[in-house]
Structure 1
Amino acid sequence: METCEDNKGMNEPLLNTPSKLQGGLRTLPFILANEGFERAAFYGLEPNMIVYLMGNYGLEMATGSNILFLWAAATNFTPILGAFLADSYVGRFPMIAFGSIFSLLGTMLLWSTTMIPGATPYKFESVANTNPSPTPFQLILLFSSFGLMSIGTGGIRSSTLAFGADQIARNGVDENAKPNCVGLLESFFNWYYFSVSISVLFGLTCVVYIQDHAGWQAGFGVPTLLMLLSVVSFFLASSFYVKVKPPKASLLTGFAQVIVASWRNRHYEFPSELNVDKVYHVVKGSTLEFPSEKLRSLNKACIVMDPRQDLTPDEMVVDPWRLCTIDQVEDFKSIINLIPLWSTGIMMGVHANTTSFRVLQAFSMDRHILTPTFEIPPGSFGTFGLITLMFWLILYERVIIPMASKVMGKPVRLHVMTRMGIGLLLSFACLLVSGIVESIRRDMATKGEILEDKTSSTVPMSALWLVPQVCLFCLAEAFSAIAQIELFYSEFPKSMSSIASNLQGLGMGIASLFASLIITVVDCVTKKFGKESWVSSDINKGHYDYYYWILAGLSLLNYIYFLFCSKAYEQGKRDLQDTKGISDA
């Protein structure tokens, strides 16, 4: 059975008392460079990997795609696992260090497959009509490289945001310490997204170009070099980092104790009068003397029925699975209160899954720009959005906020709820624009300009009409995604910062499943009775504009849902502040 000592870690300082030489803004470039180089390496490898698997391993398109799907799934899952381990057991600095080394080993192993004789079945220049299958050793080598990179990605991406925020909060020495400047935290999250955008842009353009024109050895050697730079940049400042200690007892264990204790104590009666010294268990040094009224049933977890049985002579808990502290209960409530707000971001993830539709649209449109000989690749229209995102972040940080602060005569920042709401509205507007553009494109394709069944023909409509929707979506991400991460980090208990900064990724994973469900339902319903599906493989016969408008309707409903959630959350925060005010009085 857990002793009372197990819960002491919940209340011990999570930060070593930092010296004046530790933490601060000067450590952030090293942290951002670490993930920036990793992102450039990963997104430089991803686009052409199917070509490498088919050309050098002789795999079919379906087989290669399934392998890459599993790799992507593992890469999206490992940051959640890494966040849990970092917050509960390992710590953020060791987790990033561990992840950086594993990512480097993974890229080195993948690079070696282009140089070691016999590492792949054959090369592009192999004799025609020979189609050797990869051996178990060759597949083990390939899958090991993917596995190492996924593990490394989980280590780096799970903890970078929280670790960087720890450096900003270097003067905090208790578990609830938050950065003493909300604007500084917001700026860090903005610059994090800016650096990631540059890295992704570099990977999708320069690294892919090298693979196309200089071959696989150079094309995979560059990501390996980028990962080496990632490792070096992170360890260069290792002596200057503030390093957070994980709690002796996992906070998730503490939350489980709240659930179990409230259930075991469900028959307890609430006191008619508040006598906090005898009724509720208050941890020493806490600012709370009794719990808030919201989610009142959980308050039974901290009711002391018999001090002689429930507490030791020095007022420590005898059985933490029957009696919890008020702080444990209120921390758990704060996370439950955030779940509805977190769920409002799932619709943004569903919207993000329409990228493949834009590629289909771009294929059927005029992609020439500047000269008759240059065409924008269909998959490259996302670069317009990345450039818009970077431009907006610079404009917001360096022009809009300073000017607004100067006019108001005090520091001005857009409230996190305001930014989330703006992001959701921009997402709704983007879907409306997408539907209108697709409706125009389809009308031009079906009114004689393109003959039936010639889906490869080009509609006399510039593909640049796709740019506004790409830019609107990236602006929506800039507002909503960054605001969500800032909210989670600020409101979650300090010892769950890594998990907080990865919750949006979890939402994206759920959004992918939800998007799959929506498109399956639309496909099944609209192709009944022999009709053409709205999401037909022939984009000119389908009705992708209707699909966009369905998503727009869901997005509008999601915004209304967000308004209710934000109002309820703000009311809950006010109730908690009132409780603290009464306790202080």
Structure 2
Amino acid sequence: MAVSTLTGADADADVPEFEAPLLHDAVDGVVDHKGRPVIRSKSGGWRSASFIIGVEVAERFAYYGISSNLITYLTGPLGQSTATAAANVNAWSGTASLLPLLGAFIADSFLGRYRTIIIASLLYILGLGLLTISAVLPSVCQNTVKNVPCSSSQFQVIFFFFALYLVAVAQGGHKPCVQAFGADQFDSQDPKECKAKSSFFNWWYFSMCGGTLITLLILNYIQDNLNWGLGFGIPCVAMAIALVIFLLGSMTYRFSIKGDEKSPFLRIGHVFINAVRNWRTSPSAIALQEEARGTLPHLGSQQFKFLNKALLAPDGSKEYGTVSSMNEVEEAKAVLRLFPIWATCLVYAIVFAQSSTLFTKQGVTMDRSIGSSFDVPAATLQSFISLSIVLFIPIYDRILVPIARAITGKPSGITMLQRIGTGMFLSAISMAIAAIVERKRLETALEYGLIDMPKATVPMSVWWLVPQYLLFGIADVFTMVGLQEFFYDQVPNELKSIGLSLYLSIFGIGSFLSSFLISVIDKATGGYGQDGWFSDNLNRAHLDYFYWLLAGLSAIEIVAYLYFAKSYIYNKGNTV
């Protein structure tokens, strides 16, 4: 610990000569798994990140092994309607995306990222194991007469959703910590490692999508054609192996030194509480108090000046002791500054939710045959999202970024907010394409007299859906990766897990909004015995109307985003 404070002659005097060269290679602010100072050449960097990326690949393999084909399981073995199943999928994925806020709080305030990852992985393995058992229950519970399933479906549903939400809890602890812990392995103060960290977010998403691609190509086929128990059991084994690999890398990891200050959650929470408590206090009282202390508010940021009221004592007096420090107020401002960007990305998250629900239901009705004996699982088409990401990220990182860097002079080529906005624009186009293709599918069903034959295959190739999936993937390279880097980079150092959980919460709220929107539209358009936009008979439904609605909302979102992005002030130093 003392290594980070020793410099120059003092360092050489206090350390034996044979250790001095190692001391100069030490990394400030981090320790190894035993609490000792770490040496740059023997810890962190891509060596450590590779172990961490490995566990993330397995986690995504497991998560998408459930989420990508969940709507098929709900409408199949569990017998739910299309609208109900889509709402349940969105509710579950929304919960899974919001729970990282709790996981980040536990990690940053109590357990640390390393321990949280281990505990979350164990919960993941337990949840996947229970999910596997729930999937084989129907085959265990059979009547002896006519081989008809017995009346234990209610127990099966309860058991299934218990296991499903246990996986969501595990993901809530896993997701915000793994990526932040991986980024922690790079020293921002070292030019070489700082550049590597910038690429880390690209290659992190590349590897993550590689795991997703394997899921969509292999697990979806197993689930649709072989056995759901096997389809859930394989991810369970994968997570167990990944946990072992993660533990093997423990001796190479860098662990941030945790200070003795109170939790960053509590610090920021107190700032807002104190500001509200003093909301009637005039700005002049703040100026007088800060002038007496020799620290004027104008030394901090000029945004969200109302939070400066947290600098005052509870009674608004001119005492020297303040409730919150300037540093704590600036931390709160840094988090609050993210909210407009967070809010204007919600429509993108609603659009994102459709690829694993309604797109999949579309594909089920179309011609999925390859040759004479093989049908492509509808959920497997999501692999084109991952495929386009895997193909495009190297192009972006190795070709587009250097070109943009030469033009703009920025290390990242374009700013994080420019990258996010580009993806939003592409996602709006993808929804317009999806609407046009769905209209073509409905016209084909009408032409061949299949309107009232929902189980018949519409003679239109499922490959018509590929463009919207590919565009989704390219949009993700811009927006998803941009959001990850933005919410990691623009929060104080102690809140990196929180930053990433805020990014994930966009998609949690977006999933809930998608579920709410589908439910409201289904009730509004499907009443009085009419076929609504989300009719179980998709040949009488109007998913194209819904896609056009999302395209319009995306256009409005982009306008609002551009307004807030233009006025955003970057927290370049990552500290306050």
Q: Classify the TM-score, shorter chain.
A: 0.7 to 0.9
Equivalent residue number for residue 162 of structure 1: 180
- Which amino acid in 2 is paired with 1:491? Q
Equivalent residue number for residue 463 of structure 2: 464
- Which amino acid in 1 is paired with 2:390? M
Residue 28 (str. 1) matches residue 42 (str. 2): no
Q: 3-state SS of the aligned residue for 1:169? A: coil
Q: 3-state SS of the aligned residue for 1:533? A: coil
TM-score after normalising by structure 2: 0.79
Residue 80 (str. 1) matches residue 101 (str. 2): yes
Shift of 1:206: 2.3
Distance 2:493 2:343 in 1: 21
Distance 2:427 2:287 in 1: 49
Distance 1:47 1:126 in 2: 34
Equivalent residue number for residue 284 of structure 2: 270
Give yes or no for contact 1:28–1:167 (8 Å, CA) kept in 2: yes
Q: Which structure 2 residue ranges, 5 or more long, are not aligned?
A: 1-27, 32-36
| 1:331-350 paired onto structure 2 within 5 Å | 331-350=331-350
Give yes or no for contact 1:27–1:240 (8 Å, CA) kept in 2: yes
Distance 1:306 1:525 in 2: 53
Residue 200 (str. 1) matches residue 212 (str. 2): yes
| 1:177-188 paired onto structure 2 within 5 Å | 183-188=195-200
Equivalent residue number for residue 39 of structure 2: 19
Shift of 1:529: 8.5
The worse-fitting range, judged by mean Cα deviation, of 329-338 and 433-442 is 433-442
Distance 1:215 1:466 in 2: 26
* Closer, same or farther: CA 438–269 of 1 in aligned 2, 3 Å: closer
| 1:560-571 paired onto structure 2 within 5 Å | 560-570=559-569
- Which amino acid in 2 is paired with 1:390? V
Shift of 1:552: 1.1
Distance 1:137 1:429 in 2: 43
Residue 438 (str. 1) matches residue 438 (str. 2): yes
Distance 1:47 1:293 in 2: 45
Q: 3-state SS of the aligned residue for 2:454? A: coil
Equivalent residue number for residue 490 of structure 2: 491
The worse-fitting range, judged by mean Cα deviation, of 261-270 and 96-105 is 261-270
Distance 1:540 1:111 in 2: 34
Distance 2:146 2:68 in 1: 26
- Which amino acid in 1 is paired with 2:271? V
Equivalent residue number for residue 398 of structure 1: 398
Give yes or no for contact 1:281–1:324 (8 Å, CA) kept in 2: no
- Which amino acid in 2 is paired with 1:438? E
Please tell me the root mean square deviation across aligned C-alpha atoms, in Å: 4.1
Distance 2:375 2:384 in 1: 15
Q: 3-state SS of the aligned residue for 1:518? A: helix
The worse-fitting range, judged by mean Cα deviation, of 192-201 and 75-84 is 75-84
* Closer, same or farther: CA 18–304 of 1 in aligned 2, 3 Å: farther
Question: What is the aligned counterpart of 1:97 among 100, 114, 118?
Answer: 118
Percent identical residues: 31
Shift of 1:259: 2.0
Q: 3-state SS of the aligned residue for 1:128? A: coil
Q: Please list the CA deviations of residues 43-85 of structure 1 after superposition, one character each: whole Å capped at 9, or x if unmatched.
A: 3355677999999xx96658x9699888656544432211111
* Closer, same or farther: CA 399–170 of 1 in aligned 2, 3 Å: closer
| Count of matched residue positions in the alignment of Structure 1 and Structure 2 | 536
Shift of 1:327: 1.4
- Which amino acid in 2 is paired with 1:433? I
| 1:538-549 paired onto structure 2 within 5 Å | 538-549=537-548
Give yes or no for contact 2:94–2:510 (8 Å, CA) kept in 1: no
| 1:133-144 paired onto structure 2 within 5 Å | 133=151
Equivalent residue number for residue 291 of structure 1: 300
- Which amino acid in 2 is paired with 1:264? R
Shift of 1:164: 0.9
- Which amino acid in 1 is paired with 2:464? W
Q: 3-state SS of the aligned residue for 1:168? A: coil
- Which amino acid in 1 is paired with 2:196? L
Q: Please list the CA deviations of residues 15-62 of structure 1 after superposition, one character each: whole Å capped at 9, or x if unmatched.
A: 44543233222111100101211222343355677999999xx96658
Shift of 1:332: 1.0
* Closer, same or farther: CA 474–292 of 1 in aligned 2, 3 Å: same
* Closer, same or farther: CA 455–275 of 1 in aligned 2, 3 Å: closer
Shift of 1:222: 3.0
Distance 2:254 2:215 in 1: 30
Give yes or no for contact 2:488–2:499 (8 Å, CA) kept in 1: yes
Equivalent residue number for residue 253 of structure 1: 266
Residue 513 (str. 1) matches residue 512 (str. 2): yes
| 1:325-474 paired onto structure 2 within 5 Å | 325-355=325-355, 356-369=357-370, 371-402=371-402, 411=411, 413-446=413-446, 448-474=447-473
Shift of 1:303: 4.4
Distance 2:529 2:79 in 1: 32
| 1:566-585 paired onto structure 2 within 5 Å | 566-570=565-569
Equivalent residue number for residue 549 of structure 2: 550
| 1:4-153 paired onto structure 2 within 5 Å | 15-16=30-31, 18-20=38-40, 21-45=42-66, 61=80, 75-108=96-129, 122=140, 128-129=146-147, 131-133=149-151, 146=164, 149-153=167-171
Equivalent residue number for residue 12 of structure 2: none
Shift of 1:418: 1.1
Shift of 1:359: 2.9
Distance 2:521 2:334 in 1: 37
Shift of 1:215: 5.2
Give yes or no for contact 1:121–1:132 (8 Å, CA) kept in 2: no
Give yes or no for contact 1:76–1:509 (8 Å, CA) kept in 2: yes
Shift of 1:412: 5.2
* Closer, same or farther: CA 306–151 of 1 in aligned 2, 3 Å: closer
Shift of 1:354: 2.5
TM-score after normalising by structure 1: 0.78
Give yes or no for contact 1:88–1:246 (8 Å, CA) kept in 2: no
* Closer, same or farther: CA 507–153 of 1 in aligned 2, 3 Å: same
* Closer, same or farther: CA 367–255 of 1 in aligned 2, 3 Å: same
Distance 2:102 2:65 in 1: 24
The worse-fitting range, judged by mean Cα deviation, of 329-338 and 262-271 is 262-271
